[in-house]
Amino acid sequence: MSDTKSKSKELKEKLLMQRKNAFFRLTDDEVKVCDDFCEGYKNFMNSSKTEREAVITSAEILKSKGFVEYTNGMKLKAGDKIYRINRRKAVIAAVIGTENIENGVRLCAAHIDSPRLDLKQNPLYEDNEIALFKTHYYGGIKKYQWTTIPLSLHGVIVKADGTSVSVNIGEAENDPVFCVTDLLPHLANEQMKRPLAQGVKGEDLNIVIGSRPFRDDEASNAVKLNIMSILNEKYGIVEADFISAELEAVPAFKAKDVGFDRSLIGAYGHDDRVCAYPALMATVDCDSPKHTVVTVLTDKEETGSDGNTGLCSSYLKYFIADIAEALGSNGRTVLSASECLSADVNAAFDPTYPEVNERNNCAYVNKGVCITKYTGARGKSGTSDASAEFAGRIRRLMDSHNVIWQTGELGKVDEGGGGTVAAYIANLNVDTIDMGVPVLSMHAPYEIVSKIDTYMAYKAFAVFMAD
Ligand code: MN
Ligand code: MN
């Protein structure tokens, strides 16, 4: 009897897949390494609420670690550390490897834009003596989640004379914040009967920015005038300058530990900075790699990757061609031999909403970095679908370096779906697979990730870059 039992236990271990909580596979010291790594991540999050700010923070980190800005014509050799910024909204970092570049680069791609409320080009108006900003949401949001939370305003305004001014207000302790209102339940009978998607409509996402009129003015729109006067004093702008501005309203929350055990992190914009930061840190920690390492932190993923700062543009391809030529090869040859981890988040199983996931094929918090072979929707439409061979190679690589990982796809078949930049990189003839951190409440103003999973993403990227 006992023999049979031990035999089945032995067979189980040998034949069946284990999906243990990563905590049981780590010592207390190893868990502390994960937690310590996440202190740096929280700092990064608090100073990088938009793609522009993430580029500035990343460039500071890169420069402090000896990376220099790459310009065409620069001579390159093994060990060189370079970066290139694309229009202040995307950044590519590279470490030149010892191997011939014709054998391909190790590419890591994450995005640094997140869902938010963008100001319209003519945003400022007054209605019944309250001043507001009109917005157009950016990326996929559940609109009701963006009401009645403190918002900060970030971005840049280009004035008529061509000079520009940066805006960052609502983050410092004594800064004012901004807010989208919602109806009180007492008067929401009609609103509450609407389907959730229409409870708060796109044109309802108006941000309250003031309520006191300009004192000496008898005319209409005195509150608007007063706000414009404050903005003119603070930023030197006039109303028409909004036309050439990019102003983004984002949650004013700081990244914080979540839970009595502090095992999780709550923050705005984990998608996808929880992959961007580990990818960046793996790159700066990567000394004299065999293959050249290229990490791109891109913009515009949340709106489909179009535009010259998104990965449907050629900026990554051009960068690789430039360094390939500097090293005596060409972009086509290098890309065709390259491998890529498309570093993006996946949905974590939420015990409150279990019905959207298929339990054998979804990601769980604390079970490690998630490998996603394919994304897409309705019959894998829009996916690049990594080959079994490449999935096998990455799996072997992770296992041989004790990276704790899991596999999962985004929800049940036909429940919905989504994509990443994987397809656009795979389209350049690069072997590509998605790998990233599982997130709870993805695309909400406050998302949640696990500290262990976040560190495992760093470890996975580091192992891939060093291979
Ligand atoms: Mn993403
Ligand atoms: Mn997203």
- Residue 348 token pair: 């974590």
Q: Which residues pair with 376 in a beta bridge?
A: 418
163 C-alpha to ligand 1 centroid (Å): 33
CA of 420 to the centre of ligand 1 (A): 6
Determine the Cα–Cα distance for residues 12 and 254; give it in Å rounded to an integer.
44
Phi, psi of 227 (to 5 degrees): -65, -45
Buried b (16+ CB within 10 A) or exposed e, 276-311: bbbbbbbbbebeebebbbbbbbbbbbbeebeeebbb
Question: Residue 138 has what DSSP assignment?
Answer: E
Distances (CA, A) of 77 to 80, 99, 285, 292: 6, 10, 18, 10
Position 19 scores a pLDDT of 82
The long-range contacts involving 116-120, CB below 8 angstroms and separated by at least 24 positions, are 116/50, 116/248, 116/249, 116/250, 117/146, 117/151, 117/180, 117/205, 117/207, 117/248, 117/249, 117/250, 118/246, 118/247, 118/248, 118/249, 119/155, 119/242, 119/245, 119/247, 119/248, 119/249
3-class secondary-structure state, position 400: helix
Q: What is the pTM of this model?
A: 0.97
**What is the reported pLDDT for 219?**
77
Query: How many CB atoms lie under 10 A from the CB of residue 264?
Result: 20
Q: Which two tokens stand for residue 412?
A: 């049940």
Positive or negative CA dihedral for 219, 243, 58, 64? Answer: negative
Radius of gyration of the chain (CA): 24
Distance CA 59, CA 148 (A): 34
Q: How far is the CA of 232 from the centre of ligand 1 (A)?
A: 36
CA atoms within 13 Å, Cβ hemisphere of 106 = 23
Looking up tokens 């905590």, which residue turns up?
23
- The answer to whether residues 157 and 242 touch, using CB atoms and an 8 Å cutoff, is yes
User: What whole-number distance in Å separates Cα of residue 83 and Cα of residue 410?
Assistant: 33
Q: Which pLDDT does position 18 carry in this prediction? A: 80
Ligand 2 center to 444 CA (angstroms): 10
pLDDT at 2: 58
Separation of 436 CA from ligand 1 center, angstroms?
Answer: 9
According to DSSP, the residues that pair with 265 across neighbouring strands are 257, 449
Question: Residue 160 C-alpha to ligand 2 middle, in angstroms?
Answer: 34
User: Which whole-number Å values give the CA distances from 282 to 57, 101, 222, 275, 293, in the listed order?
Assistant: 15, 20, 53, 11, 10
Complete edge-to-edge strand list for the sheet that includes strand 256-258: 256-258, 264-267, 447-450
What region, left, alpha or beta, does residue 74 occupy, with left being phi > 0 and alpha being psi -120 to 50 degrees?
A: beta
β-partners of residue 297 are: 91, 110
| CA 422 to ligand 1 centroid distance, Å | 11
Measured in angstroms, how far is the CA atom of residue 140 from the centroid of ligand 2?
A: 7
CA angle 258-89-466, nearest 5°? 70
- C-alpha of residue 98 to centroid of ligand 1, in Å: 32
- Fill in the DSSP letter of residue 260: T
Å from CA of 430 to ligand 1 middle: 20
| Tens place of pLDDT per residue across the chain (467 aa) | 556 678 999 999 899 988 889 999 999 999 999 999 999 999 999 999 999 999 999 999 999 999 999 999 999 999 999 999 999 999 999 999 999 999 999 999 999 999 999 999 999 999 999 999 999 999 999 999 999 999 999 999 999 999 999 999 999 999 999 999 999 999 999 999 999 999 999 999 999 999 999 987 677 899 999 999 999 999 999 999 999 999 999 999 999 999 999 999 999 999 999 999 999 999 999 999 999 999 999 999 999 999 999 999 999 999 999 999 999 999 999 999 999 999 999 999 999 999 999 999 999 999 999 999 999 888 999 889 999 999 999 999 999 999 999 999 999 998 888 899 999 999 999 999 999 999 999 999 999 999 999 999 999 999 999 99
Q: How far is the CA of 105 from the centre of ligand 1 (A)?
A: 23
Q: Residue 441 in contact with residue 345, Cβ under 8 Å?
A: no
The two tokens of residue 284 are 């700066």
Query: If you measure from the C-alpha of residue 2 to the centroid of ligand 1, how many angstroms do you get, rounded to a whole number?
Result: 49
Task: Write out the residues surrounding ion ligand 2, Cβ under 5 A.
Answer: 271
Element at 195 (helix H, strand E): none
CA of 54 from ligand 1 middle (Å) equals: 15
Q: Whole-angstrom Cα distance, residue 155 to residue 410?
A: 32
191 Cα–ligand 1 center, Å: 31
Rama region for 155: left / alpha / beta (φ>0; ψ in -120 to 50; rest)? left
- CA proximity to 169, closest of 53, 273, 266, 86: 53
Rounded to the nearest angstrom, the distance between the alpha carbon of 283 and the centre of ligand 2 is 23
Report the 10 Å Cβ neighbour count for 241.
Answer: 19
**Which ligand is nearest to the Cα of residue 442, counting in written order?**
2
On the question of a cis peptide bond just before residue 306, with omega within 30 degrees of 0, the verdict is: no
The predicted structure's pLDDT at residue 335: 98
Q: How far is the CA of 55 from the centre of ligand 1 (A)?
A: 17
- Ligand in closest contact with the CA of 112: 1
